[in-house]
Amino acid sequence: MTLLFLVIGVDLDWEYPVAEDRGGTDDDTGNFVSLVQEMRDAFDHLGNTDWDISVALAPDYWYMRYFDAKGMEPHVSWFNFMTYDLHGAWDSDIKYGKVVRGQADLTEIRNNIIPLAFADMNMSKINFGMAYYGRGYKLAGKSLRLFSSSLTRSKNTMSHLLLFEILTARILSRIRLMRM
């Protein structure tokens, strides 16, 4: 049996350069830039100039500060900015306590993209990621509720369709207010 694979590029998702809790070192930042540069050069040398290289970027400054996105920019086709899983069950820090928050937050996404703008990045190379799954929580009190949708057949999980409808309604209401 012969297997045929069509390669059109590579997506690099390094979580996270320099992170000590993941075995990182100070050399990670420069090494990551060298890696994508060498990959681009190798692809081009082999005549595969149309092969894409994409890099996932951490969605918060704590981790993103060790990505030299500007240094990688000439060598990558695009960046995938992970705008999901900003919050979850792992959030129980002192500042907020045990508070249920949405996995994504538009204000945080806007604030977290600011360093890329200040680095004079080509913003057309940045994709905002979206998770194709939902998160549910079991809450301590019965009076506390999250979304429950018949579209997902699962309690405390919101379907993408329902989320789209809610966001569309909010966006349209803001547009109406701006026109007044």
Q: Which residue among the candidates 15, 73, 108, 165 is catalytic per the annotation? A: 15
- Which burial class, exposed, middle or buried, applies to 18 when counting CB atoms under 10 A from its CB (0-12, 13-18, 19+)? middle
Q: Is 165 a catalytic residue?
A: no
Say how far apart CA 98 and CA 52 lie, in whole Å.
Answer: 41
CA distances (Å), origin 171, targets 64, 65, 164, 177: 29, 31, 10, 10
Say how far apart CA 153 and CA 136 lie, in whole Å.
Answer: 12
Give the chain's count of helices (H) and strands (E): 5, 6
Name the pairing type of β-strands 148-149 and 154-155: antiparallel
Say how far apart CA 165 and CA 75 lie, in whole Å.
Answer: 38
Partnered with residue 149 across adjacent β-strands are: 154
Residue 167 · residue 159 · CB < 8 Å: no
Q: Which residues are catalytic?
A: 15
